[in-house]
Amino acid sequence: MKKIETLAGLQKAGVIAVVRGATKEEALQASHAIIKGGIVGIELTFTVPQADEVIRELSDAYKGHPEVLIGAGTVLDATTARLAIMSGAQYIVSPSFDRETAEICNLYQIPYLPGCMTITEMQTALKSGVDIIKLFPGSAYGPSIVSAFKAPFPQLNIMPTGGVSLDNMSEWFKAGVVAVGVGGNLLAPAAQGDFKKVTEVAKQYSDKLNEIKR
């Protein structure tokens, strides 16, 4: 049941914040600032120093808030996936599909969202039990590609990441995606230590999502 609940939670969250950071502290503060702004899906990338510790701390901090979903991103192999899961990650995101990672996620009943760009990659991922495909980088295509992918695979659940902005977010949802991943412009103020601004931008995304889903 846990996996089904997480998948439903990701769809409800709608916007998944891809959190990177130069330090553990920056990533932690950015995550708290994003959640404060109303975005409840956090994808903490393994490019962050001591990423597993950040995931553990965030998981502990939001234990009483089931709507907040803490996942791990930039997971390149099964070893990292297992480390993330043991640290409390509720879902695993990769830039590309990896069969061993899919298997370890299935073993622990944790959703796996691999980055795919082609129909072949998507078919392989679906065969391995993947429920949500991360269309990455979304900027290489744009919203119009969604219907092309869903023509042969109407059962595809797509989450574009890369190239999603406040301006084109509604187009992506209109095209039929289940969620979107956002990073760059949301996290930019964190690098300058302006976490208040991070909360403001997160709120803009959160408000936009509520408008779209109304």
pLDDT digits (tens, 9 = 90+) for 150-188: 999 999 999 999 999 999 999 999 999 999 999 988 999
Longest distance between any two alpha carbons in the chain, whole Å = 45
DSSP for the chain, please give it.
-HHHHHHHHHHHH-EEEEE--SSHHHHHHHHHHHHHTT--EEEEETTSTTHHHHHHHHHHHTTT-TT-EEEEES--SHHHHHHHHHTT-S-EEESS--HHHHHHHHHTT--EEEEE-SHHHHHHHHHTT-SSEEETTGGGT-TTHHHHHHTT-TT--EEEBSS--TTTHHHHHHHT-S-EEE-HHHHHHHHTT-HHHHHHHHHHHHHHHHHHH-
Q: What is the pLDDT of residue 1?
A: 73
Whether 154 and 126 have beta carbons less than 8 Å apart is answered as no
Which residue segments constitute the domains of the chain, with CATH numbers given? 2-204 (3.20.20.70)
CA 199 and chain centroid, separation: 18
Examine the pLDDT at 116 and tell me if it is beyond 80: yes
Examine the pLDDT at 199 and tell me if it is beyond 80: yes
Look at the pTM and tell me if it is higher than 0.95. yes
Tell me the pLDDT band of 211, cut-offs 50, 70 and 90: very high
Residues with catalytic roles: 43, 134
Q: Which residues pair with 161 in a beta bridge?
A: 181
Cα(140)–Cα(77) distance, integer angstroms: 24
